[in-house]
Amino acid sequence: MKTTRTLRRASQWVVFLLFVFLFLNTEYKDNDVLPYAVNLFLRLDPLMAGAATLAGRALIGLVWPALIVALLTVVLGRFFCGWVCPLGAVIDAADATVFRKVRRKGAVPVSWRRYKYLLLFFLAASSLFTLQWVFLFDPISILIRTLTVSVFPAMNLVLHQIFDGFYRMPGPIPGISEPAYGFLKSHFLAFEQPVFRTSAIVGLLFLGILAAEKYQRRFWCRNLCPLGGLLALMGRFGLFRRRITEAGCTRCGLCESECRMGAIGGDVAVTDHGECIECMDCQAVCPEEVIHFSGKEGRRPAAVDLTRRGVLAAAALGAVTVPFFRVEAHGKAPDPLMIRPPGALPEGEFLARCTRCGECMRVCIANGLQPTWFEAGIEGMWSPILVSRIGYCEYNCTLCGQVCPTGAIRRLPLPEKRKTRLGLAYVDRSRCLPWVGQSDCIVCEEHCPTWSKAIVFREERTRTARGGWRTFKKPYIDEELCVGCGICETKCPLADRAAVLVTSRGETRSTGVLAR
Amino acid sequence: MIPGGCPFSRRRFLQAAGGAAGALAASALFPSALRAAAGKTVDVAAASAASPAERARKAVALLGGMESFVSRGDVVVLKPNIGWDRTPEQAANTDPEFVVAVAEMCLAAGARSVSVFDRTCNDPRRCYVNSGIKDAVERFARKNRVGDALRIYHVEDRKFVRASIPDALAIREWDLYRDALEADKIVNVPIAKHHSLAGITLGLKNMMGIMGGNRGQIHFRLSECLADVNRRVPVALTVIDAGRVLVRNGPSGGNLADVKSFGKAFASRDVVAADVVAAEKIFRLAPRDVGHIGKAMESGLGIASRAQIRLVEG
């Protein structure tokens, strides 16, 4: 009876490889339009879809695939966590390798599994009142964000260091390493080394999820994952459920000890169908082959150990939290460096929908989109802003709008994108070289991409530091034409702070204030 | 710069060198040969034809064909302008057909390999694709089964080498691209266009594409820097695409109204001379009007005096 378990493992591998494939192809590949939905996984996620819909007060057409997962879950039960979820696959892989020989002491109390439900109610209530916090706990968002911001850049760095080392070696080594490098470069490595703010902390949080496996298998999925909680509630009455042909069962208890979710409790014939992720391990290990998964009713499921008090408290807390975030002063005086991607919705709707998955940052061709710390308040953590000193918004590029899974960044046609203003540039005349009489420069004007240049120069006389007069080409910003793409700030040759800078002033979308 | 009376004047040295690395080594052994080179004239071809490829071929033919510049077995670097995320019509990058025609001539002359690259200003991938140059070069290589010899690739950080520039006017050392430093011949294939700071950009300015590091900083003393780089990495041949010319809002342009059709190409073994003629014929500018041409001339990089230039038209 091991075939279904093999199938499940195969499914996990195939889905994970598809996930990695889509991740690697969330990139400009010589084509202005990404040919397929690289953001598929986020759009399959009912938790994220629900939260964005609830908080954003809008039906989001993009997330229709989540409905399929929801329907399948109602019919099949919580199969997603065992067969599909790429984070679940990573956790299982960690179990099978790093934690293979770990003896788990000090069992985690069974009652902890209720926290994922409480978290779910907390998040649902706050989403209902427009505060969308789901990104912090949604497994798909966590995985893509971690890969984008942290793991992939780090792996890219290490591989580059290794191959650069080989490349500089004398003798035949480069002859061997360079073809391998070329292959990796065209299929796997980043075009240029990406860098991200918050990368270390994002990586550490992810390590925390894996490290919890030391204490319990699938610790995250059992106790914390709110998507798991949602699917558990949806799938409790699914048709596909574990049951035991009791006649042959010897009560050996092997199924109970092998269950990665702790879904078999007390009596081995009793299954918590909400917790069971249908991994089929119990069926595979059963020496008597009496465990079946079928549409027929098994024993009544174990009750979810949720108290009414707990549910109400979590929901109330979720609702009560909202105004505390909405009186943060950034709502009244937003950070001037909070420059959103082109096509971003007004701030309130934007934050309600943004899944913080990092797809836009991953695809941003100049590495300009970066996760925030607190520029948009704690509520806006890890949402994307353009940090022009790191990278700029490429004038003819519309990729971020193409990958956003919830439409927080609208998909703009190129002509509209070119007119979308992210902010405005200004010249710091106290530092700009021609303005202070140091030297000619005009690099900003040279790079300005608008077709009638938004940065123009005028030849003017300036008093130099030594007292004489000299003529320089001095940059001026035409605010009618500037779109705030930030290439001037990126390319400004001053080594530290640029002398031409972009702020969010004049951005095309209206800046949301406080709650709507 | 170098006190008078030095038998080994840089001006003479470089005039004699003419760009060929082998010749450089040889002439260093025979200083007398250098003096003989002074006062020499140089040919600049000015070609008109209907298509970019024909213009390129005609210009090189007027100088005696590519065989005069590229020898059998040479490793050639072909350096077009691929600086911007612009289409060929917008004339911010060298025309793709023009680039392919020059590459084809190099291969026909027996080049062992022809490498095409540029360090771009916008995202390199977008520039390579939207300039049309990547596709044109790769298509040609595929069609003629010369994929091993003719390659277009992206510049990689790790391949920049710190190079010292003796007697530099502005930059004593800079990171330059290894492939350019190691090539037997460099063929410089710029597009002629307006440039906000430099005035115009032609052959001399195009060599910025082999420079690494913070290139913005060389804009503080652009003319001197360009002279330095061109002296450090001499080119065997410069072929200027002046078919479609961006006459305003350069170097990046974008507006088709700023593009004017001239249908010309210029070529010379002497990059300064090529620039002088193109500046005059296309932009009506004298050498002295263009800072970096003036500076290159002063530094003895090439021939800029109109009297020493023999114009070959066709």
Residue B24 scores a pLDDT above 80: no
* Chain-chain contact of A447 with B249 (C-beta, under 8 angstroms): no
Residue B149 scores a pLDDT above 50: yes
Higher pLDDT: B21 or B169? It is: B169
Set of chain A residues whose Cβ sits within 8 Å of the Cβ of B217: 493, 495
**Residue in chain B nearest A490 by alpha carbon:** B216
Give backbone dihedrals phi and psi of A345, rounded to 5 degrees, phi first: -70, 165
Mean of pLDDT over chain A? 92
Q: Are A265 and A107 contacting, i.e. CB atoms less than 8 angstroms apart?
A: no
* Chain-chain contact of A447 with B123 (C-beta, under 8 angstroms): no
A100-136 tens-digit pLDDT:
888 887 678 888 999 999 999 999 999 999 999 999 9
* d(C-alpha A38, C-alpha B233), whole Å: 45
A321-358 tens-digit pLDDT:
999 998 988 888 889 999 999 999 999 999 999 999 99
Give the pLDDT band (50/70/90) at residue A465: confident
| Confidence at residue B217, expressed as pLDDT on a 0 to 100 scale | 83
Set of chain B residues whose Cβ sits within 8 Å of the Cβ of A450: 254
* d(C-alpha A187, C-alpha A170), whole Å: 27
Set of chain B residues whose Cβ sits within 8 Å of the Cβ of A473: 196-197
Residue listed under structure tokens 């701030």? A347
* d(C-alpha A237, C-alpha A52), whole Å: 26
B256-289 tens-digit pLDDT:
999 999 999 999 999 999 999 999 999 999 988 9
Set of chain A residues whose Cβ sits within 8 Å of the Cβ of B124: 191
Set of chain B residues whose Cβ sits within 8 Å of the Cβ of A495: 214, 217
Mean pLDDT of A485-497: 96
Higher pLDDT: B314 or B107? It is: B107
Cβ pairs bridging A and B (under 8 Å): 82
Contacts of A382 (CB under 8 A, 6+ apart): A135, A145, A198, A202, A356, A358, A371, A372
Residue B16 scores a pLDDT above 60: no
Q: Are A498 and B216 contacting, i.e. CB atoms less than 8 angstroms apart?
A: no
Q: What share of chain A is helix, strand, coil (3-state, %, to 5)?
A: 45, 10, 45
Q: Is A443 on the interface with B (CB under 8 A)?
A: yes
Set of chain B residues whose Cβ sits within 8 Å of the Cβ of A443: 197, 216, 219
Per DSSP bridges, beta strands A291-294 and A241-244 are: antiparallel
DSSP state of A344: B
Closest among B149, B211, B180, B223 to B79, alpha carbons compared: B180
Q: How far is A443 from chain B (nearest CA, A)?
A: 6
Give the pLDDT band (50/70/90) at residue A265: confident
* d(C-alpha A331, C-alpha A325), whole Å: 9
| Confidence at residue A219, expressed as pLDDT on a 0 to 100 scale | 96
DSSP state of B215: G
* Chain-chain contact of A449 with B252 (C-beta, under 8 angstroms): yes
Torsion, CA A268, CA A270, CA A275, CA A276, rounded to 10:
70
Mean of pLDDT over chain B? 89
**What DSSP string describes A96-125?**
HTTTTT----SPPPGGGGHHHHHHHHHHHH
* Cα angle A123, A127, A131; round to 5: 100
| Confidence at residue B22, expressed as pLDDT on a 0 to 100 scale | 45
Give the pLDDT band (50/70/90) at residue B32: very low
Interface mutation vs chain A, best among B197, B221, B224, B258, most A CBs within 10 Å: B197
* d(C-alpha A202, C-alpha B127), whole Å: 33
Amino acid at A417: K
Q: Note the ipTM here.
A: 0.92
Set of chain A residues whose Cβ sits within 8 Å of the Cβ of B215: 493
* d(C-alpha A37, C-alpha A403), whole Å: 7
A38-87 tens-digit pLDDT:
999 999 999 999 999 999 999 999 999 999 999 999 999 999 999 999 99
Residue B77: strand pairing partners: B115, B186
> Looking at chain A, how many residues does it have?
516
Residue B29 scores a pLDDT above 50: no
Give the pLDDT band (50/70/90) at residue B203: very high
Q: Is B181 on the interface with A (CB under 8 A)?
A: no
Mean pLDDT of A174-201: 95
Residues 215 through 244 of chain B touching chain A, CB cutoff 8 Å: 215-217, 219-222
Residue B31 scores a pLDDT above 90: no
The partner residue sitting opposite B219, judged by closest CB among A164, A366, A440, is A440
**Residue in chain A nearest B120 by alpha carbon:** A447
* Chain-chain contact of A446 with B123 (C-beta, under 8 angstroms): no
Closest among B118, B80, B120 to B98, alpha carbons compared: B80
Taking CA atoms, B234 is separated from B44, B77, B228, B295, in Å, by 17, 12, 10, 16
* d(C-alpha A338, C-alpha A328), whole Å: 15
* Chain-chain contact of B121 with A491 (C-beta, under 8 angstroms): yes
Q: Is A166 on the interface with B (CB under 8 A)?
A: no
pTM of the model: 0.91
Amino acid at A511: T
What is the distance between the terminal CA atoms of chain B, rounded to a whole angstrom?
40
Q: Are A62 and A406 contacting, i.e. CB atoms less than 8 angstroms apart?
A: yes
Q: Is A214 on the interface with B (CB under 8 A)?
A: no
Helix axes A64-76, A46-56, angle to 10 degrees: 130
Helix axes A86-96, A3-24, angle to 10 degrees: 120
Give the pLDDT band (50/70/90) at residue A300: low
Q: How far is B167 from chain A (nearest CA, A)?
A: 22
Give backbone dihedrals phi and psi of B312, rounded to 5 degrees, phi first: -110, 110
* d(C-alpha A174, C-alpha B186), whole Å: 25
Residue A434 scores a pLDDT above 90: yes
Taking CA atoms, A468 is separated from A114, A458, A465, A471, A473, in Å, by 77, 19, 8, 10, 16
Give the pLDDT band (50/70/90) at residue B303: confident
User: Of the ranges A21-25, A162-166, B7-11, B177-181, which one carries the lowest mean pLDDT score?
Assistant: B7-11
Residue B33 scores a pLDDT above 70: no
What are the structure tokens assigned to B225, written together? 């820097």
The partner residue sitting opposite B220, judged by closest CB among A164, A439, A445, is A439
Set of chain B residues whose Cβ sits within 8 Å of the Cβ of A445: 196-197
Q: Kindly give the residue spans of alpha helices, DSSP state H, lying in chain B.
A: 10-17, 21-29, 31-37, 52-62, 96-108, 124-130, 133-143, 178-182, 203-206, 222-232, 271-283, 291-298
DSSP state of A296: S
Q: Is A186 on the interface with B (CB under 8 A)?
A: no
| Confidence at residue B25, expressed as pLDDT on a 0 to 100 scale | 45
Q: Are B48 and B263 contacting, i.e. CB atoms less than 8 angstroms apart?
A: yes
Residue A236 scores a pLDDT above 60: yes
| Confidence at residue B201, expressed as pLDDT on a 0 to 100 scale | 96
Set of chain B residues whose Cβ sits within 8 Å of the Cβ of A191: 124-125, 154
Higher pLDDT: B21 or A369? It is: A369
* d(C-alpha A67, C-alpha A76), whole Å: 14
* d(C-alpha A166, C-alpha A176), whole Å: 9
Number of helices (H), then strands (E), in chain B: 12, 12
Burial class (CB in 10 A: 0-12, 13-18, 19+), A103: exposed
